[in-house]
Chains A and B, each alone.
Chain A
C-alpha cells in the first residue's frame, strides 16, 4: 500500500448538488479520495449517506436533477468532468464499469445474454461479430457460468439471481476496465451466493489487474475483500483507514457505532448495539458536525462548527473534533 502506486481514480473535493422542488441541496460534499491500481476500496455507510451518489457521480450517471458542481474526478489522470459527453460515454464500459445491486433487473429482458454481451463488445472494440461471440462465450466461462454455449442464447429470465450477477460482472469486465465500481453487488443475493460472488470478484481482480470500488453497507463484506475503507455519513467522508486499522481501532464515534452494531459470533448474550436516530434530512442538515444529533460524545463545539477531515496518521483520516490536528494537515 505504498503511496507511489499509480492512482487509477482520484476524486478531489467533489460536491454534488441535487435540485428538488426548486431548491438546491448538496447531497455529497468535499468527497476526497483515491483508488490505487489493483486496490480494493470500500465505501460504507447507512442508507442515504451518499454512497451510491458518489458512485453515480464518478460514472457520470447522476439523475437529471443532480450534477457535480465542484471538484475533479480523474480517471487515469483525465478529468472526467471536463471531457465531452460522448468521450465520457466511451469510457463507460471500457475503462470504468459498474455493477448494480439488483441483478434480477439489470439485464434487458427482451434480449438474449449473448446479444447484450456482443453489443457491448462491438460498441467499444472493432471486433467482428463472430469474434465478439467467441469472446462473449469466453467471458461467461471466466465468470463461472456453466454451459456458456447455451447460456449465450438464453434470456435473462432463464437465469438465477447469482447467475445474472455473474453475467453482469462478465459485462463489466468484458472490455478489461481499469476500475470496477460495484454498488452493493451482493445485497440482493443469498448468503451462500454472496460468498461466491465476492470470491469471484477477488479472483477476477487479480486476473484482470483492475481496481475495485466497492459500495456496501455490510461491514462483513468490507472485512472480506477491501484493502482500504472509507466511511461516509450524511454526504461526507467521516473516516478513512486501511481495513485492519479501521476494525481494530476505529476513531470516529460513527465508525465505532457501526462496528459495535455488527453481530459477532459467540457474543450473543446482550442486545445488539444501535445508533439512535436517523441520517438528517437534506433540508435539515445541521450547521456543525452532521453526526452531532446522534453522537454519544457530542460537545458544544460540535453543534457550532463543522469539523474538518484531519489526517491522523499515514492513510488514516477522520472528521471529528475529538481528534485535533496534532499530527497532520487539514484537508
Chain B
C-alpha cells in the first residue's frame, strides 16, 4: 500500500496515532515497570530506594540451574527440529498434493491442541517408562513436538516461494546427485527460512510453560517453571529481576526475527 495515501494529516490521523500510542503504552508499561522493579532496592517504596543488582544476583543464586536447563533444552530442541523439520519441509514442498497438505495439517496439531492436553497424554503414555519421567529428555520431547511445526512452516514458506523444483533440475542437469543438490542448492537458498525457524524454535522453547509445567519434576525445572514459582512465592522484586533475565535472553532473537521479517519484505 502506498505510504501517505491520506496526504493531509487531519484529525483522524492524530486520533489514530494517539490510539496506537495508547495500545503501545498498554503493552510496554508493564514491561518497563517489571524491568525497573527488578533493579529497584524496594519496589514498595519506589525508585527513590535506589537501584541495585541485588535481586538479579539473588535470582542467579536461586535459579541459575533453570536458566542453564532451559538453554540446554532450547538448543537440543533446535538440533532436533533442524534434523527432523528441514527434511520434512523439503518433502512437503516437493509434493503439493492432497496427501502432503493432510500431513502438513496433522503436523500442525501439537500447536492447535492445548499443551496441557499433550502433556497429559505424554505422561499417561510414557510416564512409567524407565527413568524418562525424571529426565530432561521428557521435557525435550514435548518441546520438539510443540516447536517442530514452526520450523516446518518457516522453511516450507521459503521453499514454496522459490522455484525449488527448477533449481534442483538445473543442478541435476549438471550432474549433481541428490545429496549434492540438497546441500549445495536447496539448503543455501532456504537460509532465511531456516534462520527464522531456528530463532522461533529457540524463543518458544525457552518460554514454553503449558507443556513444561506438567512435564517437569523438581529436578528438571526450566526457566518459565522457575518464573511461575517465583511469582507465586517470592517478593515482587525477585520475580521482576527473573523476568528481566528472561527478557535479556529472548530479546536478541526477537530483534533478529524482526530484522529478518523486514529484510524479507523489502527484498524484490
Say whether A associates with B: no
A-side residues, CB < 8 A to B, are none
Q: Which residues of B contact A (CB under 8 A)?
A: none
